[in-house]
Chains A and B, each alone.
Chain A
Amino acid sequence: MKEFLAFITKEFAHVFRDRKTLLMLFGVPIVQIILFGFALTNEIKDSNIVIVDNAKDIATQQIITKIASTDYFKIKGNLASADEIDKAFKSGDIKLAIVFPVNFYTDLLHTNKAQVQIIADASDPNTATTLTEYVKGIIADYQSQLSETMQTPEQIITNTRMLYNPDLKGAPNFVPGVIAMVMLLVCVMMTSISIVREKELGTMEVLLVSPFKPILVILAKAVPYLVVSLLNLTVILLLSVYLLDLPIKGNLLLLYSVSTLYIITSLALGLLVSTGAKTQQGAMTLSLVGMMLPTMMLSGYIYPIENMPWILRFISNAVPAKWYYIIVKAVMLKGLSFSFIWRETLILFGMTLVFLFLSMRNFKIRLE
């Protein structure tokens, strides 16, 4: 144990003495998050909207009046039919369209159900979400007023469509993505470089001649990067809560536990890379091309996986970040508990075991 501590002390010295790398490790996520924070516009006022009122009855009139009376919306026009919506959006200054079907009020009275369609320009996903939430709020408000005067509760079903960006890629999705990427950067790239450096410098030979166990070399190398990753995670979470106003809805302990698992998965990957690379350059290339690219492309963080051809969808299953991304979104944004993410967690766990098994096997070969 004392020997192990001596080794970890040395590893921490390596990590913290390399200022440039350290700056990059903490700087990149901070810059990404801050840039994104400033690019966001949270304030929404006087957004132009159009209305297609096919019913023209008392209920729709009341709802439209309510919408028009807020600061949020400015009704730019009433379109005669839904076919004109597309043109209105393409003209550029329309953010949202509301479509009332024929017989809106009669449906509401007789079947207790009526539908409204909200179509939003989601090329700016945050505005789109906020605006549709406002409209939904106004309609819900109207509905509760109506319920007071009537015996049976009515339901107005709002039907929302996000144009151009159905997944609403944006800050909430961005933060888990940054987390997944940074952990990969720290763990896979830095760990593999650090192990390969010992090989390149010839110090690995000396370590192998010493009574210090090779498995402990690996463990001692992993510890500082585990710490750096957890610090990074904390920084990103603090920034996203206090700068981006993105609350963590789920259990913080659960978030940290699954993140630790993902870090271990990445460390195992880093170890695997180190067994395959002979030089630090090689380790870096292998990590960047072999790990970063697939992670960026296939984790669902930049491009939605559902829209990919089946072959890419299939390959994406082998990308650990994909599963971690699902988990973080579920815990952080939706506040779901472990029972909803156990499958993804199990997959990550399985991957870790496979990576560890493969790298241990390769590591032994090197020792002859």
Chain B
Amino acid sequence: MEEPVIRTKELTKRFGDFVAVDRITFDVHKGEIFGFLGANGAGKTTAMRMLCGLSIPTSGEAMVAGIDVYHHPEQVKRSIGYMSQKFSLYEDLTVLENIRFYAGIYGLTDKQIKNKSEELIEKLGLQKQAKVLVASLPLGWRQKLAFSVAIVHQPKVVFLDEPTGGVDPSMRKQFWDMIYDASADGITIFVTTHYLDEAEYCDRICIMVDGRIKALDTPFLLKKNYGVDNITEVFYRLARTAQRSGD
């Protein structure tokens, strides 16, 4: 078995007395689509931020792409991609400029940038819109573009923080097709979501309640173990035990 791409051990984050993430331990393997589920305030985003090097863990260990996040957060950055809830594109730049910018700050060469932009625009079917400002693109297109841009530098892992917020269901399906393609290319996907139907698309899901991992398995086994026929039901059973409310 290959070395896991993400490995955490007793990873904890405290803000004063508040324990946002409480000793979580898990492994994520290469090319896996790993779903992180939880109500608002369950600690999903905090956990993800620690893995990205945006937030320093209070205690515990986290390795991403074989690098210790705690001690070498700068080195981790080269191997990861990130897409935030807000899609992280510049609306006053064109589609092409956004691609060039992100490829540029990840240090791709001019030739690579040129090839990548052509490839991406073709894949997204945005040939006509390449020189159009992102502000005028529909939300679903922006989301797909944001994802493409997040993996423009071929990272080992890409972190998606509630990537499908506000997007209609048919677009969400198309978006998940892109995720499958990336996963097939060997990119590990770490995705947080609160759309429970999306959880079914993941290889494995991890349900967080009050900063702790309450369940971690494939969607199939989770349903089987809880004797229910969908993830929503599993989630509600676990979430009922929650002590703290959303933030």
Q: How far is the CA of A210 from the CA of B84 in the complex (A)?
A: 12
Query: A203-B88, A368-B54 known; A210 and B104 CB under 8 Å?
Result: no
Interface centre among A5, A14, A207, A210 (most CB of B within 10 A): A210
Per-residue interface assignment for chain A, residues 136 to 179, with 1 indicating a CB less than 8 Å from any chain B CB and 0 otherwise = 00000000000000000000000000000000000000000000
Q: Which residues of B contact A2 (CB under 8 A)?
A: 104, 107, 109
A83 at interface (Cβ–Cβ under 8 A)? no
Q: Size band of the A side of the interface?
A: 20 to 34
Q: Which residues of B contact A7 (CB under 8 A)?
A: 101, 104-105
B93 close to A13 (CB less than 8 A): yes
Per-residue interface assignment for chain B, residues 84 to 107, with 1 indicating a CB less than 8 Å from any chain A CB and 0 otherwise = 111111111100010011111111
Per-residue interface assignment for chain A, residues 205 to 248, with 1 indicating a CB less than 8 Å from any chain B CB and 0 otherwise = 11111111000000000000000000000000000000000000
Name which residue of chain A comes closest to B80, CB basis. Answer: A209
Q: Which residue in B52, B53, B85, B90 is a CB contact (below 8 Å) of A14?
A: B90
Name which residue of chain B comes closest to A210, CB basis. Answer: B105
The interface residues of chain A, by DSSP majority, are classed as helix
B74 at interface (Cβ–Cβ under 8 A)? yes
Interfacial residues of chain B within 146-169, with CB under 8 A of chain A in the complex: 150, 159
A71 at interface (Cβ–Cβ under 8 A)? no
In angstroms, how far is the closest chain A Cβ from the Cβ of B164? 15
B230 at interface (Cβ–Cβ under 8 A)? no
B123 at interface (Cβ–Cβ under 8 A)? no
A309 at interface (Cβ–Cβ under 8 A)? no
Name which residue of chain A comes closest to B105, CB basis. Answer: A212
Name which residue of chain A comes closest to B113, CB basis. Answer: A6
Q: Which residues of A contact B84 (CB under 8 A)?
A: 202-203, 205-206
Q: Which residue in B88, B92, B103 is a CB contact (below 8 Å) of A205?
A: B88
B54 close to A205 (CB less than 8 A): yes
Q: Which residue in A17, A18, A210 is a CB contact (below 8 Å) of B106?
A: A210
A209 close to B101 (CB less than 8 A): no
Q: Which residues of A contact B87 (CB under 8 A)?
A: 202
B101 close to A10 (CB less than 8 A): yes
B92 close to A209 (CB less than 8 A): no
Q: Which residues of B contact A9 (CB under 8 A)?
A: 100-101, 104
Q: How far is the CA of A201 from the CA of B135 in the complex (A)?
A: 13
B106 close to A201 (CB less than 8 A): no
B92 close to A211 (CB less than 8 A): no
Interfacial residues of chain A within 180-205, with CB under 8 A of chain B in the complex: 201-203, 205
Q: Which residue in A5, A14, A202, A212 is a CB contact (below 8 Å) of B88?
A: A202
Q: Which residue in B52, B90, B100, B150 is a CB contact (below 8 Å) of A6?
A: B100
Q: How far is the CA of A207 from the CA of B52 in the complex (A)?
A: 11
A3 at interface (Cβ–Cβ under 8 A)? yes
Per-residue interface assignment for chain A, residues 1 to 28, with 1 indicating a CB less than 8 Å from any chain B CB and 0 otherwise = 0110111011001100110000000000
A211 close to B77 (CB less than 8 A): yes
Name which residue of chain B comes closest to A8, CB basis. Answer: B104
Q: How far is the CA of A208 from the CA of B93 in the complex (A)?
A: 20
B90 close to A203 (CB less than 8 A): yes
Query: A5-B104, A10-B97 known; A205 and B90 CB under 8 Å?
Result: no
B56 close to A368 (CB less than 8 A): yes
Q: Which residues of B contact A3 (CB under 8 A)?
A: 104-107
In angstroms, how far is the closest chain A Cβ from the Cβ of B96? 11
- Besides A9-B100, A10-B97, A367-B54, 6 new A-B residue pairs in contact (Cβ under 8 A), listed by A number: A203-B88, A205-B88, A206-B88, A211-B106, A212-B106, A368-B56
Q: Which are the 3 A-B pairs with shortest beta-carbon distances?
A: A6-B104, A202-B86, A209-B82
